[in-house]
Structure 1
Amino acid sequence: MKISDLTDNTGEWLRGTGPDSDIVISSRIRLARNVARFPFLSRANVKQKTELEEIIRDKIKESEITQDLFYVNLADISPVDRLFLVERHLISREHAGGEGVRGVAFGKSETISLMVNEEDHLRIQVIRSGFELKETWKTIDDIDNKLEKKINYAYSSRFGYLTSCPTNVGTGMRASVMLHLPALGMTHHIEKVFNAVVKLGLVVRGMYGEGTQVSGDLYQISNQFTLGKSELEIIEIIESVIPRITSYERMARKALVSESREQLEDRVWRSYGMLKVARTISSDEILHLLSQVRMGVNLGIINDIQMKTLNELFILTLPGHLQKLEGRELTSAQRNIIRASYVRKRLEKIES
């Protein structure tokens, strides 16, 4: 398999199915792990980083996590390919922008991703469509157990798993749920909801996690602390909060329909019309337009577009994907033109 093979398909987590998939785009869990007797990467030299990459790559293969794992050495691919993998949620922005020997292993479904020499020696990630945190945990726990039989993790009986960043010490786990919340934003209730979330020890971020801005009404809610609670306790906290947020979003959508249906339909159809006829669309604008149309589909205002298609367009119209599809680097203005053309053709194909 090659990275270019991914352009024809998208990951399982974008299929638009699973519990509460009208609002919950995906559930993701990431584990941070380090190899015992090796320094953290911030203190490791080139020789040690190279040795770590070789050890972990071999142990991943020996663990037989899944038959179709594909390994990529990030130092050997182009910046566009690295951006493409970031947009696909297979590697982090930090991993893409790092230096030296580092890599990532992932399967064809893109559900599993194993980042080698990121901030920690190993970052294990599992991502699924819809609100599936417990199923996601079962999968990643099994992968972690298989790897732990092959790799001697840095672990303290007092502190738990030892990590490069102190905020990850303990379970080393970040559990997150990506939500689409346009109605709460439109009714100006989003801040109130998130203020309550923060008080429970959770954090709200953009589509690509820490340090990213919110776009397209897409929010990630994840645990802030990893020490002092077990993995299942962290998951239970998040699972107790998400149903409340989805309930508030549904109530906000219902209020918009009952109180200002004409204005709501106008907003949705205008967004759909822009996607069908625009000749140039920026990254921020496409996310806003897709967000409005996605809500319209969920409310039955638009009936001939599948949720999977809209979820995919959130990713396929990002800069790295457009450049990968074109096979060349593009300026911002070129991307805006190609993005509009790509969406027009995709929608024309659906209508035909």
Structure 2
Amino acid sequence: MSEVIIGNQIKLYRNLDSHNFNIKADDEELKEIYETLSDAAASIGYEEVSLNELSSLQRLKLVEEGKFSSNFLDRKHKGFFQKENMPDIVINGLEHLEIREFSRDKSLDEIFKNVYEVEDKLEDKVSFSFDPKFGYLTSRVLNTGTGLRPQVILHLPALNYFGMEEISKGLMRLGYVLMPYRSGAGRNAGSVYTLTFESTFGDEEDFYINKLNMITKEITDIELENRKRFYLDNIIQLEDLVNRSFGMLSSARILSEEEMKDAMSNIKLGTELSILKPNRKIDFYDEVMKLKNGHLQIERGAILDIKSRDILRANKSRALMKEVFK
């Protein structure tokens, strides 16, 4: 990926023909949907992950990796299926079926091909709910049509610094949605944003992939231009921002996940603009994931309280800064 693009993701939603959507289906129907789709998934080489047999930490790891939401784990007739080097399959999540893949290495076009390869194989086994006028039917109107939700995850610290409101409104008028990625309480931590469509109804799937690639290129160019502007016109503010963040990560004894994300975002920007010079290559996405609440507990092998997590995160952050920059 580039300095700006963190990763690409595609979710494809489908529902079985002649069945209620999940929000209307009763227990018996949800069980029937699960059995039908799990048999279809198994027939094309997928294996089910026995979620109920996993430990709380193992389930937390899957949620942390974005495989599904924590609410999904509370569902009764649910299914999560995996196959090596192939997209994941989720049964009875938002819709009857979700085929999803996230990658930091593959392009949207590559992921698109993988997801539809699985969809084609499943469609040979089951019949999906389709209307000649409206396309594939889903419980959410905005997903009806193609059922396709392509998404690009972007690191936009310069745009975030100068203000995102104007560009967000402009994109919204064109049918795009640029919003904070997994932020808490409406706040964006780490200047990470997702770019997708408000709806993928009315055109062929290829159209949306091509359009998203084009607008991603434009946003990337704008972000890089703003980084130059930040460096040339606001160098003192930039150095202050980066060095304050470095000071926090290298000295803090208690560090929240949100503080860590913000600081790591600034450090990443600082290294890319040569404010800081690491003595080895560092993948900031991987390091942020290692310092998140879920990973810390998984690594420790126990559920930790908030204070313990924040102390452990600070310890690891100090060690990382010492290793990478000194």
Output the TM-score relative to the length of structure 1: 0.84
Q: Shift of the alpha carbon at 1:208?
A: 3.3
**2:58 matches 1:84:** no
**2:217 matches 1:243:** yes
Match of 1:55 among 21, 26, 36: 36
User: Partner letter of residue 315 of structure 2?
Assistant: S
Q: Sequence identity, in percent?
A: 29
Aligned to 1:223: 197
Match of 1:46 among 1, 19, 27: 27
Q: Shift of the alpha carbon at 1:265?
A: 2.7
Task: Give unmatched runs, 5+ long, in structure 1.
Answer: 1-17
**2:1 matches 1:25:** no
Q: Shift of the alpha carbon at 1:279?
A: 1.3
Q: How does 1:116-265 map to 2 (within 5 A)?
A: 116-129=91-104, 132-188=107-163, 190-208=164-182, 213-265=187-239
User: Relative to 1, partners in 2 of residues 1:40 and 1:184: Cα closer, same or farther, differing over 3 Å?
Assistant: same
Instruction: Pick which of 241-250 and 33-42 moved more.
Output: 33-42
SS in 2 for 1:170: coil
Q: Shift of the alpha carbon at 1:70?
A: 5.4
State the distance in 2 between where 1:208 and 1:284 align: 11
Task: Give unmatched runs, 5+ long, in structure 2.
Answer: none
Aligned to 2:311: 337
State the distance in 1 between where 2:289 and 2:71 align: 19
Q: Shift of the alpha carbon at 1:211?
A: 9.0
SS in 2 for 1:138: helix
Q: Shift of the alpha carbon at 1:114?
A: 1.4
Q: Shift of the alpha carbon at 1:212?
A: 6.2
- Count of residues in correspondence between the two structures: 325
Q: Shift of the alpha carbon at 1:332?
A: 1.6
- Asked if the contact 2:278–2:324 (Cα under 8 Å) also holds between the matched residues in 1, the reply is no
Instruction: Pick which of 111-120 and 248-257 moved more.
Output: 111-120
- Asked if the contact 1:305–1:350 (Cα under 8 Å) also holds between the matched residues in 2, the reply is yes
Q: How does 1:281-320 map to 2 (within 5 A)?
A: 281-301=255-275, 302-308=277-283, 310-320=284-294
- Asked if the contact 2:183–2:189 (Cα under 8 Å) also holds between the matched residues in 1, the reply is no
Aligned to 2:17: 36
- Asked if the contact 2:9–2:152 (Cα under 8 Å) also holds between the matched residues in 1, the reply is yes
Q: Shift of the alpha carbon at 1:348?
A: 4.3
SS in 1 for 2:100: strand
Two-structure CA RMSD over aligned residues (Å): 2.5
User: Relative to 1, partners in 2 of residues 1:213 and 1:204: Cα closer, same or farther, differing over 3 Å?
Assistant: farther
Output the TM-score relative to the length of structure 2: 0.90
Q: Shift of the alpha carbon at 1:201?
A: 0.6
Aligned to 1:106: 82
State the distance in 1 between where 2:228 and 2:306 align: 38
- Asked if the contact 1:183–1:252 (Cα under 8 Å) also holds between the matched residues in 2, the reply is yes
User: Partner letter of residue 170 of structure 2?
Assistant: A
SS in 2 for 1:59: helix
Q: Shift of the alpha carbon at 1:343?
A: 2.5
